[in-house]
């Protein structure tokens, strides 16, 4: 047994992230670690990589007990980690990113020439071609991930941890990655893959360990199980199927014509976007993040300017209008990054809650405490937002509860048009169901919703129509009742729709 | 409950630390600690005259501090209060001397003119940031020097006092009828202090309870959140800087109409009113009422220092050291929770 | 009639460029590790005072310079501890350092020299002027370059050394990495905190030299507040030069030259107040040439997820 993690427990105060977890890895094995958000997967791997210390338990490598005080110790034991959010230096070249920490030197000089040569050799040896001179900032996400993997190989990793490796890849890049993993495993490297993408796991893993709420619910051989069983082990219960009524669609609540943003790079950020969303309809935009979805939403809501195009909301031309004017024309917006756009961390729950509701909570320009309290506490009740009080600062709320607050706030405006961007990101399953239910309720109330999500299952579950974005264009439009995952994935990867 | 106790503990620790370092400084100059601090107390609060002098000194400091607190709350590091105050004072003096009319009219005109000029000087920096992306912190700092130099030029040439034989660069003295009335006969405390107190309460209420105050707070907390919610950053920036500068201008006018009765080149800079005001608001974390209290405290340190200088061999600069140490300690987030966090180990496991 | 532009203008400019250049290099190093050092003004002031004090105590120029470096290092250490260990807002700490420096130097002026405003000793030796053989005989250029204080030449050498250090050595590479992406740097085991400390201390040393040039490089004296905004101009030079040693040098040359020009203009019946504005006005205008989308980046850093 190459690696043994024995009875690992990790507590942060009263919260236990890992509870007596046992995990082991054989040489040349691909062992997947799966579970929902917050199940404890990342915590366990951070312990293995030396970024955290276990509260109790032991780690053994080749039978010998080891203790890691920081990543350097783990690297010293030939463990390498490719993080979910890449740990790269955008301004540096690929070669510099790979050799950092073990730079080849000529005397006192950093021998960049040798670094390039070694990078080329490495990439050839493992069959992952890269251009050592290219700056990482100019690389695609798939290429960046390749750099990350080459980096840990350069450091001599025998055990490679991949944390959610396929989240930002196109389907083609995912296939290439899985092939690389299998090749490397065949040559003796061992992999631990953290993921929640069951189909990919089934394709590449030898063994699968399932975590739920910090406990292990099972370790199985991939050949002995299937996706449904794994799902059940991950979630612990049957997910409720939501009823969807077939409705008559009304007039468009938003109409986007010829929307384009040039941007600084060769490819435009948005390229001639045309679509609409009608009353009583949920239009889902599928696509890998980074294909223009963020820019599209920011353009619609007035946060960024655009070079060309017209946008009409409820028949009113809002081209070039300010954020305030656009909101007043009937838009509400659940932002894709709640910490960046959706809240002010130092402000209280009530303060965060009244953004956009200032008219209804003030008289003659003065805020009315009672109105604010009534408004926000109703949301706390209905959505089950766990907070100490209305005066608790937003930074003390968990991500899921903060998201519930934001969703409540935006839905409460009961606008005819709603943007819901990654509405259930980082949110637990229970909260997800509540939010999905509320979105469908608005739809039934004849609102038009533009849903953007990188979770295909969410798109397929809620949308009436599906648009796929690729490289700033709308690559295709599908009727949600008949669209298949294959069709959507193909469009997401830039392929052409068939039929 | 715990956090409010902590937020009181922090300034207290800072004050104790400041007094400790001050004590060391006193020892260095061969002074007697107890005697020196006693003279310091007397200098600030020892009798009614000193007490009201402390309040009088606090007046411009409070006003500048309030202006700075508004800008800081909105997220803008307006470091230009000194230049804004100087231009305000210059404008007030010139207006009061040259505008025709009865005394009360001249006074009001002087105040308004001062606030407008200082406000515009401050808004200029805000506009440069909003339009050209120029770092506000640096532009306001640089504009300070330009403002002081310009004011110095104005009172050395065009508006120089020709009524006296003095070679000083200063404006003519304003007419007696324009003087701010004193609050107590024989004392230096004038109506500017009342204005400052009213302004303090007004600003506090404004920031906490009004819609615009909310927008300012959110803009300072997370500008992206504010934009997302429909708050116009550019306009609010210029408006906040305008009002912030106006406060500094009011401080300058208050000095001219209530204390100095003219503008004398370099006098406001030497008295360090503006920087003390900024220090006060930093000490109070940009809370208006806290700013006023901190301003009073700092003014007391300064008048106390003067008393110390008069009656001992210890130089008044000791109080400058105490003030600076205070700032250092307040800026250190030196609370219990921080220490607890360190013991538990940083969340991302890194100790470096 | 005096000429506006002549040899002595350029010679004076070279002398005035030096403090700004040294401080700006220090600012650049701090910026490269992610710390925006507004306290340059205070660090230079401390250096200026300590140089005079060191000279007074030991009579030796070398000791004076070392003393200046040492005192600025202490202040820089304070800046480092508060910004890095205690995680205080780096801007507020910088402002606090400026306050502390002003207060302490004024206090020390009284306490040690028993004077207010300025200290001047006519017998105190300043930085020696160095005549470079061969160069000094070149017409015009020789008069500009040769005969400057030693710190002027040292500063030029430091520019070259820093350029080599950052872009050719491993240590410099890791320093850049620590500032470019501290989380990534930590994840591969780089001691980010230690690197930041060293950077701030280096900045302190450079500001100490800047102060020494200021108080010992021309008229040997210390005046209260004698930095007069040079620390902030240096910060602008840092930003204009994009924290790159050669770029920073270029920007410093511009601002230093403006300062020299402003003094020269006084000989042409332009009121001293107005001519003294020149460096500041030019600095502000120069700021148009680099956009500061800082607030967006700062908001992302302090509020955003790590995306």
User: Quick one: A227 and A257 in the same domain?
Assistant: no
Reported as a pLDDT band with limits 50, 70 and 90, residue B7 is: low
SS3 C34: coil
Interface test with C, best of B137, B240, B309, B349 (most C CBs within 10 A): B137
CA distances from A404 to A379, A383, A428, A436, C305 (A): 9, 6, 11, 11, 17
| Pairwise CB contact (< 8 Å): C303 & A108 | no
| Tokens 């301004």 sit on residue | A91
Facing A101 at nearest CB: one of C188, C303, C305: C188
In degrees and rounded to multiples of 5, residue A483 shows phi and psi of: -65, 145
Summary mean pLDDT of chain C: 88
Largest separation between any pair of C-alpha atoms in chain A: 75
| Pairwise CB contact (< 8 Å): A358 & B214 | yes
**A336: in domain:** yes
Facing A110 at nearest CB: one of C173, C189, C302: C173
Closest residue of chain B to C303, computed from CA coordinates: B222
**A14: in domain:** yes
| Tokens 């008393």 sit on residue | B307
Q: Which residues of chain A have pLDDT under 50?
A: 499
User: Quick one: A223 and A264 in the same domain?
Assistant: no
Closest residue of chain C to B278, computed from CA coordinates: C95
C102 Cα to chain B: minimum distance (Å): 8
Pairing of strands C118-120, A473-479: unpaired
B104 Cα to chain C: minimum distance (Å): 34
B-C Cβ pairs (cutoff 8 Å, strict)? 147
Q: For chain A, say whether C161 makes contact (Cβ under 8 Å).
A: no
| Pairwise CB contact (< 8 Å): C307 & A337 | yes
Interface test with C, best of B69, B82, B124, B141 (most C CBs within 10 A): B141
Q: For chain A, say whether C188 makes contact (Cβ under 8 Å).
A: yes
Largest separation between any pair of C-alpha atoms in chain C: 66
User: Quick one: A174 and A260 in the same domain?
Assistant: no
Strands (E), chain C: 118-120, 129-130, 148-149, 221-223
The answer to whether the CB of B155 falls within 8 A of the CB of B95 is: no
| Pairwise CB contact (< 8 Å): C190 & A101 | yes
| Pairwise CB contact (< 8 Å): B135 & C287 | yes
Residue B207 confidence (pLDDT)? 95
**C180: in domain:** yes
The number of folded domains in chain C is 1
Q: For chain A, say whether C305 makes contact (Cβ under 8 Å).
A: yes
Q: Which of B259, B222, B261 is nearest to B56 (CA)?
A: B259
Cα B269 to the center of its chain, rounded Å: 12
A-B Cβ pairs (cutoff 8 Å, strict)? 76
Torsion sign over Cα C219, C224, C226, C231: positive
Residue C298 confidence (pLDDT)? 54
Q: For chain C, say whether A76 makes contact (Cβ under 8 Å).
A: no
| Pairwise CB contact (< 8 Å): B324 & C280 | no
Residue ranges making up the domain that contains A117: 3-235
CATH number, domain of A157, equals: 3.40.50.300
Q: Which residues in chain C are closer than 8 Å to B324, comparing Cβ atoms?
A: 96, 99-100, 102-104
**C298: in domain:** no
The answer to whether the CB of A461 falls within 8 A of the CB of A453 is: no
- Alpha-carbon gap, residue A475 to A466, rounded angstroms: 11
**Residue C65, burial from CB neighbour count under 10 angstroms (0-12, 13-18, 19+):** buried
Q: Which residues in chain A are closer than 8 Å to C306, comparing Cβ atoms?
A: 85
Per the DSSP assignment, residues forming a β-bridge with A286 are A468
Q: Which of A347, A342, A453 is nearest to A402 (CA)?
A: A342
Q: Which residues in chain C are closer than 8 Å to B325, comparing Cβ atoms?
A: 100
Interface test with A, best of B7, B75, B206, B229 (most A CBs within 10 A): B229
| Pairwise CB contact (< 8 Å): C181 & A87 | yes
SS3 C120: strand
Q: Which residues of chain C have pLDDT under 50?
A: 1, 293, 304-307
User: Quick one: A164 and A279 in the same domain?
Assistant: no
Residue B336 confidence (pLDDT)? 42
- Alpha-carbon gap, residue A461 to A72, rounded angstroms: 44
Q: Which residues in chain A are closer than 8 Å to C244, comparing Cβ atoms?
A: none
Q: Which of A176, A203, A235 is the last residue of a domain?
A: A235
Q: For chain A, say whether B202 makes contact (Cβ under 8 Å).
A: no
Residue B337 confidence (pLDDT)? 44
- pLDDT tens per residue, range C259-303: 999 988 888 878 888 989 999 999 999 888 876 545 555 555 555
User: Quick one: A286 and A326 in the same domain?
Assistant: yes
Q: For chain B, say whether C177 makes contact (Cβ under 8 Å).
A: no
Q: For chain C, say whether A290 makes contact (Cβ under 8 Å).
A: no
B149 Cα to chain A: minimum distance (Å): 40
Q: Which residues in chain C are closer than 8 Å to A90, comparing Cβ atoms?
A: 180-181
User: Quick one: A337 and A204 in the same domain?
Assistant: no
Q: Which of B286, A102, A110 is nearest to C167 (CA)?
A: A110
| Pairwise CB contact (< 8 Å): B138 & C89 | no
Q: Which residues in chain B are closer than 8 Å to A341, comparing Cβ atoms?
A: 224-225, 228
Q: Which of A235, A268, A292 is the last residue of a domain?
A: A235
Q: For chain A, say whether C190 makes contact (Cβ under 8 Å).
A: yes
The answer to whether the CB of B135 falls within 8 A of the CB of C294 is: yes
Residue B351 confidence (pLDDT)? 34
Strands (E), A47-127: 56-61, 64-66, 79-82, 105-106, 109-110
Q: For chain C, say whether A71 makes contact (Cβ under 8 Å).
A: yes
Give exposure, C118-154, as e/b (b: 16+ Cβ within 10 Å). Answer: ebeeeeeebbeeeeeeeeeeeeeebbbbbbbbbbbbb
Torsion sign over Cα B10, B15, B18, B24: negative
Q: Which of A84, A74, A48 is nearest to A157 (CA)?
A: A74
| Pairwise CB contact (< 8 Å): B225 & C294 | no
The answer to whether the CB of B217 falls within 8 A of the CB of A347 is: yes
- Mean pLDDT highest for which of A367-381, B13-27, B34-48, B299-313? A367-381
Q: For chain A, say whether C57 makes contact (Cβ under 8 Å).
A: no
For A206, the token pair is 């030898």
| Pairwise CB contact (< 8 Å): A366 & B227 | no
Facing A345 at nearest CB: one of B212, B222, B227: B222
For A137, the token pair is 């900032």
User: Quick one: A256 and A401 in the same domain?
Assistant: yes
The number of folded domains in chain A is 2
User: Quick one: A24 and A118 in the same domain?
Assistant: yes
In degrees and rounded to multiples of 5, residue C191 shows phi and psi of: -80, 80
The residue extents of the domains of chain B are: 61-285
- Alpha-carbon gap, residue A205 to A192, rounded angstroms: 9
SS3 C11: helix
- Alpha-carbon gap, residue B178 to B172, rounded angstroms: 13
- pLDDT tens per residue, range B85-112: 999 999 999 999 999 999 899 999 999 9
Residue ranges making up the domain that contains C127: 7-290
**A181: in domain:** yes
For B42, the token pair is 């007397």
- Alpha-carbon gap, residue B62 to B296, rounded angstroms: 8
A427 Cα to chain C: minimum distance (Å): 15
The answer to whether the CB of B29 falls within 8 A of the CB of B248 is: no
Residue B199 confidence (pLDDT)? 97
A91 Cα to chain C: minimum distance (Å): 8
For A12, the token pair is 């942060």
Residue A237 confidence (pLDDT)? 55
**C54: in domain:** yes
- Provide the terminal-to-terminal Cα distance of chain B, rounded to the nearest Å: 33
Facing A367 at nearest CB: one of B211, B218, B345: B211
Looking at residue C82, the DSSP 8-state letter turns out to be I
User: Quick one: A257 and A225 in the same domain?
Assistant: no
C88 Cα to chain A: minimum distance (Å): 16
| Pairwise CB contact (< 8 Å): B230 & A323 | yes
CATH number, domain of C279, equals: 1.10.3470
Closest residue of chain A to B350, computed from CA coordinates: A51
- ipTM of model: 0.84
| Pairwise CB contact (< 8 Å): A365 & B211 | yes
Measured at the CA of B254, the angle between CA B253 and CA B256, to 5 degrees, comes to 65
Interface test with A, best of B212, B220, B349 (most A CBs within 10 A): B349
- Alpha-carbon gap, residue B342 to B334, rounded angstroms: 11
Residue A236 confidence (pLDDT)? 63
């Amino acid at each position: 047994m190459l690696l043994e993690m024995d009875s690992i427990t990790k507590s942060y105060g009263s919260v236990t992230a890992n509870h007596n977890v046992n995990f082991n890895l054989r040489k040349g094995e691909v062992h997947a670690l799966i579970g929902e958000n917050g199940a404890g997967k990342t915590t366990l791997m951070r312990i293995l990589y030396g970024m955290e210390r276990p509260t109790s338990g032991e780690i053994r490598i080749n039978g010998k007990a080891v203790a890691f005080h920081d990543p350097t110790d783990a690297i010293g034991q030939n463990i390498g980690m490719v993080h979910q959010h890449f740990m790269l230096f955008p301004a540096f070249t690929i070669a510099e990113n790979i050799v950092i920490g073990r730079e080849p030197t000529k005397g006192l000089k950093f021998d960049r020439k040798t670094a390039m040569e070694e990078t080329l050799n490495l990439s050839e040896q493992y069959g992952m071609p890269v251009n050592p001179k290219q700056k990482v900032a100019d690389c695609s996400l798939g290429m960046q991930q390749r750099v990350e993997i080459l980096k840990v190989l350069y450091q001599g990793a025998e055990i490679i941890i991949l944390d959610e490796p396929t989240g930002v890849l196109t389907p083609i890049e995912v296939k290439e990655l899985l092939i690389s993993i299998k090749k490397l495993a065949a040559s003796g490297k061992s992999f631990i893959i953290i993921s929640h993408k069951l189909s990919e796991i089934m394709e590449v893993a030898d063994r699968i360990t399932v975590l739920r709420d910090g406990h292990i619910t099972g370790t199985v051989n991939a050949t002995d199980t299937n996706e449904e069983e794994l799902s059940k082990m991950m979630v612990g219960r049957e997910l409720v199927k939501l009823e969807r009524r077939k409705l008559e669609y009304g007039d468009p609540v938003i109409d986007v014509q010829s929307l384009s943003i040039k941007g600084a790079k060769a490819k435009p950020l948005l390229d001639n976007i045309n679509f609409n969303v009608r009353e009583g309809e949920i239009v889902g935009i599928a696509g890998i993040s980074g294909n223009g979805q963020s820019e599209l939403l920011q353009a619609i809501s007035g946060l960024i300017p655009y070079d060309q195009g017209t946008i009409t909301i409820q028949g009113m031309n809002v081209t070039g209008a300010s954020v305030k004017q656009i909101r007043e024309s009937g838009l509400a917006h659940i932002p894709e990054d709640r910490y960046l756009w959706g809240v002010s961390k130092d402000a209280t729950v009530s303060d965060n809650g009244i953004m956009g509701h200032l008219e209804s909570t003030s008289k003659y320009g003065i805020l009315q405490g009672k109105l604010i309290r009534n408004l926000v506490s109703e949301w706390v009740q209905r959505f089950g937002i766990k907070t100490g009080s209305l005066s608790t600062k937003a930074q003390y709320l968990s991500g899921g509860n903060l998201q519930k607050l934001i969703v409540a706030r935006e839905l409460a405006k009961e606008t005819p048009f709603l943007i819901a961007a990654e509405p259930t990101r980082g949110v637990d399953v229970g909260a997800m169901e509540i939010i999905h239910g509320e979105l469908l309720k608005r739809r039934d109330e004849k609102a038009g919703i533009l849903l953007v999500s990188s979770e295909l299952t969410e798109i397929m579950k809620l949308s009436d129509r599906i648009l796929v974005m690729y490289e700033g264009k709308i690559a295709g439009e599908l009727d949600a009742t008949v669209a298949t995952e294959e069709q959507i994935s193909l469009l997401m990867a830039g392929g052409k729709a068939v039929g | 409950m715990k956090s409010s106790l902590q937020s009181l503990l922090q300034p207290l620790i800072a004050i104790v630390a400041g007094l400790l370092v001050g004590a060391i400084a006193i020892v260095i100059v061969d002074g007697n600690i107890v005697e020196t601090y006693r003279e310091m107390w007397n200098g600030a609060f020892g009798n009614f005259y000193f007490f009201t002098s402390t309040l009088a000194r606090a007046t411009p400091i409070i006003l500048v501090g309030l202006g700075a607190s508004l800008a800081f709350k909105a997220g803008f590091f307006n470091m230009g209060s000194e230049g804004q105050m100087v231009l305000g004072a210059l404008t007030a003096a010139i207006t009061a001397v040259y505008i025709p009319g009865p005394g009360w009219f001249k006074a009001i005109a002087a105040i308004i003119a001062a606030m407008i000029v200082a406000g515009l000087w401050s808004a200029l920096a805000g506009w440069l940031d909003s339009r050209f992306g120029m770092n506000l912190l640096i532009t306001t700092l640089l504009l300070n020097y330009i403002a002081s130099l310009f004011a110095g030029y104005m009172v050395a040439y065009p508006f120089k006092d020709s009524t006296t034989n003095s070679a000083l660069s200063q404006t003519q003295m304003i007419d007696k009828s324009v003087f701010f009335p004193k609050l107590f006969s024989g004392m230096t405390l004038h109506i500017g202090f009342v204005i400052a107190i009213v302004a303090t309460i007004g600003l506090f209420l404004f920031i906490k309870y009004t819609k615009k105050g909310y927008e300012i707070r959110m803009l300072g907390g997370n500008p992206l959140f504010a934009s997302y919610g429909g708050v116009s950053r550019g306009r609010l920036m210029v408006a906040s800087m305008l009002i912030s500068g106006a406060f500094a201008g009011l401080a300058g006018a208050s000095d001219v109409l209530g204390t100095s009765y003219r503008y004398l080149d370099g006098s406001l800079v030497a008295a360090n009113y503006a920087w003390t005001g900024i220090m006060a608001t930093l000490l109070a974390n940009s809370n208006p009422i806290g700013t006023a209290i901190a301003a009073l405290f700092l003014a007391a340190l300064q008048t106390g220092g003067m008393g110390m200088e008069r009656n001992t061999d210890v130089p008044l600069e000791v109080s400058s050291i105490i003030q600076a140490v205070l700032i250092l300690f307040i800026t250190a987030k030196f609370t219990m929770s921080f220490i607890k966090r360190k013991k538990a180990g940083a969340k991302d496991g890194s100790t470096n | 009639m005096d000429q506006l532009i002549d040899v002595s203008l350029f010679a004076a400019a070279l002398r005035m460029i030096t403090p700004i250049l040294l401080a700006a290099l220090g600012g650049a190093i701090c910026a490269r590790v992610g710390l925006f050092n507004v306290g340059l003004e205070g660090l230079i002031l401390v250096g200026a005072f300590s140089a005079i004090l060191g000279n007074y105590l030991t009579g030796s120029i070398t000791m004076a310079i070392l003393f200046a470096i040492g005192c600025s290092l202490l202040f820089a250490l304070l800046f480092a501890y508060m910004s890095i260990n205690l995680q205080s807002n780096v801007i507020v700490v910088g402002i606090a350092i400026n306050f502390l420096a002003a207060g302490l130097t004024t206090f020390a002026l009284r306490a040690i020299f028993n004077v207010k405003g300025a200290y001047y000793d006519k017998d105190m030796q300043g930085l020696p002027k160095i005549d470079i053989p061969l160069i000094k005989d070149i017409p015009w250029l020789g008069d500009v370059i040769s005969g400057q204080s030693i710190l002027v030449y040292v500063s030029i050498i430091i520019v070259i050394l820093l350029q080599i250090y950052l872009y050719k050595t491993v240590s410099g590479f890791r320093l850049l990495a620590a500032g470019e992406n501290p989380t990534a740097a930590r994840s591969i085991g780089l001691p980010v905190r230690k690197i930041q400390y060293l950077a701030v201390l280096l900045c302190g040393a450079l500001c100490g030299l800047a102060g020494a040039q200021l108080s010992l490089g021309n008229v040997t004296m210390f005046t209260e507040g004698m930095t007069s905004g040079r620390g902030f101009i240096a910060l602008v030079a840092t930003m204009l030069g994009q924290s790159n040693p050669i770029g920073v040098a270029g920007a410093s040359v511009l601002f230093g030259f403006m300062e020299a020009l402003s003094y020269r203009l006084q000989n042409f019946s332009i009121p001293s107040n107005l001519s003294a504005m020149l460096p500041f006005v030019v600095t502000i205008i120069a700021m148009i040439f680099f956009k500061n989308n800082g607030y967006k980046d700062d908001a992302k850093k302090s509020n955003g997820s790590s995306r």
